[in-house]
Amino acid sequence: MSTISRQISVSCPPERVFSVLQDVSRLAEFSHMTIAVRNAPARALQKGDRFEQTVKVLGVVFDTEWVVTELVEGSTLRFEGTSKANGRAVMTQQVIHEGDGSRVEFEVDYDPPLGIIGDIADKVLFERRHEEATEQILARLKQVCESVPAV
């Protein structure tokens, strides 16, 4: 299993950041890899909710089914996902009050598809690209959250 951990400071209240994260219909706004989100609830996520995400990574399209396994209102979202190619992931997003804004901590633990072959390919070819993609997603999340007008 591989792990990627990153964090970013966001200049807006934790409630605003969490509301963006909790609305998975907005994933494509900050995740450049996201092609589509299907079967998501038409409300903020709750524990036990399921949805499907289609992503494109290095030209390859993957469908993943996610389930919300933990939700602490305003601070923590944890998802477990399985791709149709037998990849598995656990993604944790935490939003922490920090000064006048927030800190978003993002961690993903994943097993690539194809067993040992997938593990080797991930270490040799893809791991750094996954890390860069995570950094891009967080930077875009910051832009999205900071562009929302205060209410």
What is the percent of the chain with per-residue pLDDT over 70, rounded to a whole number? Answer: 82
Residue 98 has pLDDT above 50, yes or no: yes
Q: Residue 93: pLDDT above 70? A: yes
Lowest pLDDT segment from 8-12, 21-25, 61-65, 84-88: 84-88
Would you state the pLDDT for residue 133? 81
pLDDT confidence bin for 150, thresholds 50/70/90: low
Give the span between the Cα atoms of 105 and 60, in whole angstroms. Answer: 27
CA 23 to chain CA centroid, Å, is 12
List 66's β-bridge partners, or say none.
Answer: 51, 81
Q: In whole angstroms, how far apart are CA 53 and each of 36, 75, 148? A: 6, 22, 24
108 with 90: CB under 8 angstroms?
Answer: yes
pLDDT digits (tens, 9 = 90+) for 37-90: 999 999 999 999 999 999 887 777 889 999 999 999 999 999 999 987 677 889
Average pLDDT across the chain, whole number: 86
Cβ neighbour number for residue 86 with a 10 Å cutoff = 12
Q: What is the pLDDT of residue 148?
A: 65
Identify the CA nearest to 88 among candidates 120, 118, 56.
118
pLDDT of residue 22: 95
